[in-house]
């Protein structure tokens, strides 16, 4: 089953190296949400806008990653290696780095302080000069791709590192092809339509963005297929029985039904002979059934405190725009307040999350295995609550709050209404005070709404992304009254052109070109209402850190009443009550 990739999430996840990308998948990764039937065929102009968002995200991510590499080279060049013990520790650090394959100091063509097998001839291939940085073209070693980066030191020496591009190939797979500064493709998928040799072979109509640091280009093109998608798992249905104590026994007694998943009181059943439509027609009239529905598919959408995180000032415009610095003067959060992230999981070992990610839950298999094999959930978690003021990486909205990872989307960014509902109930039962849901589908689901009501009745603050298709069609859970729904803005406080709108929009938050975390200590820039929602979840976490006795409705009222009114005067379908203001919300609460 195909879906539409409309923006810079998945590809942006890797393109910190600023390569040439051609997206040919049919998935909406911008906010992990499926396209509604009414917008299957995106107009060319709007699709070009989406492509440009992706290209911009990838270019900005490239610059951010190159800055990381440059700073790492500086640190290693200055690192004390005066004795054998220090030399061993340094070598171990280089070998364990996720991107550096080898390292050396170069003085008049001679190598010193080397770690790994670095080739002097390849160091001489640093032909592309950009300021004090230099780069080589990509090359292969034993069939794997690498490139060299160098930086001039004050004494005219060069510190050089060899970068392993294995992650590039693994991440891109069949979604993209990659070309170097000379326009030559060196990574390509299996799609026969994208086996180009140079960028001269590219078809017309693609959106391109040059990465100035590398002279590599980013080329994006989405190929949406006609025809309506299937939004549920065929042959399955989700049921809730009137007699909940004997549900499994009832299912076993049905000749043509088998139990697929059990999350009392909800059950996923499957028929080997009937379609989903036939199951719904048959079971909806059965007196033992309280409700039955398809197993819907969900996919991945003044005096201030200035943190010292390396990417805060140059890249995190989003936090300044919502007056986060003023808010941190009031509080930077509390370990006693937990934000659950219902998503693809979270990388608990990321350097900007390590120690604050609680033991989570996998709604697919019922285990605690909630690691992120996709990247979306880690990015969302970082926006909400990355470790801050630690020199490294980025700042999150709620510095001290813990993250509770709940894996309801798989490695492809897909899940069903059953997993999402199961994850919501688990998060509620395991201490979540705030739940972020950067996901959605255009089909109303009884099981989902039932779980949402369960969370709301247990006083949990529920935050959801509105969707990324520039339509008024309501997504779920975004349309439920128990949920605070978030639209996306850009750095001019204007509505992000992809952001869904309508009566259900409560507030807005930054959602274009948002820097955050990616698995394995990476940092990337992504766009979407998926990125807007965790800004609000972080604010809710700060509010509950100050006053945990506030009800969820009190929190909603405080967030909306202190928002900056945008667009039409008063509440409107594009911004809701307006863009959130962290400083005003927290000051009003403490006053």
How many structural domains does the chain have? 3
Q: Are residues 108 and 57 in the same domain?
A: yes
* Mean pLDDT for the stretch of residues 262-276: 89
Domain for residue 206, yes or no? yes
Distance of CA 115 to the CA centre of its chain: 34
Per-residue pLDDT band for 37 (boundaries 50, 70, 90) equals very low
What value, to the nearest 5°, has the Cα angle with vertex 483 and ends 544 and 511? Answer: 85
Rounded CA separation 305/148 (Å): 38
How is residue 244 written in tokens? 């909940």
Indicate the residue among 220, 254, 283 that finishes a domain: 220
Q: What is the pLDDT of residues 167-205, one digit of tens each?
A: 766 655 555 677 788 888 777 666 666 677 888 887 777
State yes or no: pLDDT of 498 exceeds 80: yes
Q: Are residues 551 and 567 in the same domain?
A: yes
345: helix, coil or strand?
coil
How is residue 537 written in tokens? 């979840």
Residue 101, phi then psi, degrees to nearest 5: -90, -35
Number of neighbouring beta carbons within 10 Å of residue 199: 18
Q: What is the pLDDT of residues 42-72, one digit of tens each?
A: 456 666 676 677 667 777 777 787 788 888 8
Indicate the residue among 295, 316, 333 that finishes a domain: 295
Domain for residue 462, yes or no? yes
Rounded CA separation 88/144 (Å): 27
Number of neighbouring beta carbons within 10 Å of residue 523: 26
Residues 271 and 260 sit within 8 Å (Cβ to Cβ)? no
Domain for residue 230, yes or no? no
Domain for residue 225, yes or no? no
* Mean pLDDT for the stretch of residues 532-540: 98
Per-residue pLDDT band for 143 (boundaries 50, 70, 90) equals confident
CATH of residue 556's domain is: 3.40.50.200
Q: What is the pLDDT of residues 427-436, one digit of tens each?
A: 999 999 999 9
Number of neighbouring beta carbons within 10 Å of residue 421: 28
Q: Are residues 246 and 378 in the same domain?
A: no
Number of neighbouring beta carbons within 10 Å of residue 506: 24
Residues 5 and 26 sit within 8 Å (Cβ to Cβ)? yes
Domain for residue 149, yes or no? yes
Q: Are residues 211 and 318 in the same domain?
A: no
Q: Are residues 416 and 325 in the same domain?
A: yes
State yes or no: pLDDT of 405 exceeds 90: yes
pLDDT of amino acid 489: 97
Catalytic residue set? 343, 376, 530
Domain for residue 4, yes or no? no
pLDDT of amino acid 388: 95
Q: Considering only 11-20, 349-358, 379-388, which range has the smallest mean pLDDT?
A: 11-20
Q: Are residues 359 and 485 in the same domain?
A: yes
Domain for residue 428, yes or no? yes
* Mean pLDDT for the stretch of residues 77-104: 89
Per-residue pLDDT band for 513 (boundaries 50, 70, 90) equals very high
State yes or no: pLDDT of 226 exceeds 50: no
Q: Are residues 248 and 276 in the same domain?
A: yes
Say what the pTM is. 0.75
Show the beta-strand stretches assigned E in 410-538.
414-416, 434-437, 461-465, 484-489, 507-510, 514-518, 522-526
pLDDT of amino acid 301: 65
pLDDT of amino acid 191: 63
314: helix, coil or strand?
helix
pLDDT of amino acid 60: 77
Indicate the residue among 193, 220, 247 that finishes a domain: 220
Domain for residue 526, yes or no? yes
* Mean pLDDT for the stretch of residues 551-568: 97
Which structural domain range is residue 462 located in? 299-590
Q: Are residues 59 and 152 in the same domain?
A: yes
The mean predicted confidence, pLDDT, of the chain is 85
Buried b (16+ CB within 10 A) or exposed e, 289-305: bebbbbbbbbbbbeeeb
Rounded CA separation 520/365 (Å): 24
Residues 51 and 224 sit within 8 Å (Cβ to Cβ)? no
Q: Are residues 350 and 490 in the same domain?
A: yes
How is residue 379 written in tokens? 């990015």
Q: Are residues 48 and 125 in the same domain?
A: yes
pLDDT of amino acid 493: 95
Of residues 379 and 27, more confidently modeled? 379
579 Cβ neighbours under 8 A, 6+ residues apart: 321, 322, 489, 493, 507, 508, 509, 510, 563, 564, 566
Q: Are residues 442 and 584 in the same domain?
A: yes
Rounded CA separation 437/378 (Å): 13
Q: Are residues 272 and 213 in the same domain?
A: no
């Amino acid at each position: 089953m195909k879906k539409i990739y409309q923006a810079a999430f998945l590809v942006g996840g890797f393109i910190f190296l600023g390569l040439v990308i051609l997206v040919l998948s049919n998935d909406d990764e911008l906010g992990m949400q499926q396209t509604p039937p009414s917008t299957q065929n995106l107009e060319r102009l709007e699709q070009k806008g989406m492509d440009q968002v992706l290209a911009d995200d990838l270019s900005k991510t490239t610059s951010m990653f190159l800055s990381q590499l440059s700073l790492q080279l500086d640190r290693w060049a200055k690192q004390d290696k005066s004795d054998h013990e220090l030399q061993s520790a340094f070598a171990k650090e280089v070998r364990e780095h996720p991107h550096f394959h080898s390292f050396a100091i170069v003085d008049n063509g001679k190598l010193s302080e080397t770690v790994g097998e670095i080739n002097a001839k390849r160091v001489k291939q640093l032909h592309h000069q950009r300021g004090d940085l230099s780069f080589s073209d990509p090359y292969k070693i034993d069939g794997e791709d690498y490139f060299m980066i160098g930086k001039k030191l004050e004494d005219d020496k060069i510190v050089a590192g060899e970068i392993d591009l294995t992650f590039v190939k693994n991440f891109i797979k069949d979604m993209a092809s990659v070309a170097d500064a000379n326009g030559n493709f060196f990574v390509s998928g299996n799609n026969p339509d994208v086996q180009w040799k140079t960028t001269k072979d590219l078809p017309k109509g693609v959106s391109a963005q040059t990465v100035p640091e590398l002279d590599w280009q980013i080329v994006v093109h989405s190929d949406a297929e006609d025809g309506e998608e299937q939004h549920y798992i065929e042959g399955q249905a989700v049921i809730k029985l009137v007699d909940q104590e004997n549900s499994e026994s009832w299912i076993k007694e049905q000749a043509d039904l088998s139990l697929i998943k059990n999350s009392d009181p909800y059950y996923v059943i499957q028929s080997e002979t009937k379609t989903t439509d036939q199951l719904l027609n048959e079971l909806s009239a059965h007196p033992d059934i309280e409700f039955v529905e398809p197993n819907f598919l969900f996919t991945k959408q003044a005096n201030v405190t200035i943190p010292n995180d390396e990417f805060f000032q140059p890249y995190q415009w989003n936090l300044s725009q919502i007056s986060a610095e003023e808010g941190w003067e009031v509080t930077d959060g509390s370990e006693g307040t937990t934000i659950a992230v219902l998503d693809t999981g979270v990388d608990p070992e990321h350097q900007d999350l390590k120690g604050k990610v609680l033991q989570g839950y996998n709604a697919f298999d019922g285990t605690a295995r909630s690691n992120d094999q996709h990247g979306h959930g880690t990015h969302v978690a970082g926006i909400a609550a990355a470790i801050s003021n630690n020199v490294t990486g980025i700042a999150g909205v709620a510095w001290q709050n813990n993250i509770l990872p709940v894996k309801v989307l798989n490695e492809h960014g897909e899940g069903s209404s059953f997993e999402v509902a199961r994850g919501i109930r688990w998060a509620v039962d395991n201490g979540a005070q705030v739940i972020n849901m950067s996901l959605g589908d255009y089909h109303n689901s009884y099981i989902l709404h039932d779980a949402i009501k369960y969370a709301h009745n247990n006083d949990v603050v529920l935050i959801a992304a509105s969707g990324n298709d520039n339509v008024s069609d309501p997504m779920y859970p975004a349309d439920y009254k128990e949920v605070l729904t978030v639209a996306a803005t850009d750095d001019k406080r204007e509505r992000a052109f992809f952001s869904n709108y309508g009566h259900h929009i409560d507030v807005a938050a930054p959602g274009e070109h948002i820097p955050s975390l990616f698995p394995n200590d990476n940092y990337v820039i992504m766009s979407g209402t998926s990125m807007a929602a965790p800004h609000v979840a972080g604010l809710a976490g700060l509010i509950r850190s100050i006053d945990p006795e506030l009800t969820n409705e009190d929190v909603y009222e405080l967030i909306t009443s202190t928002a900056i009114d945008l667009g039409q005067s008063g509440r409107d379908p594009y911004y809701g009550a307006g863009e959130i203001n962290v400083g005003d919300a927290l000051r009003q609460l403490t006053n």
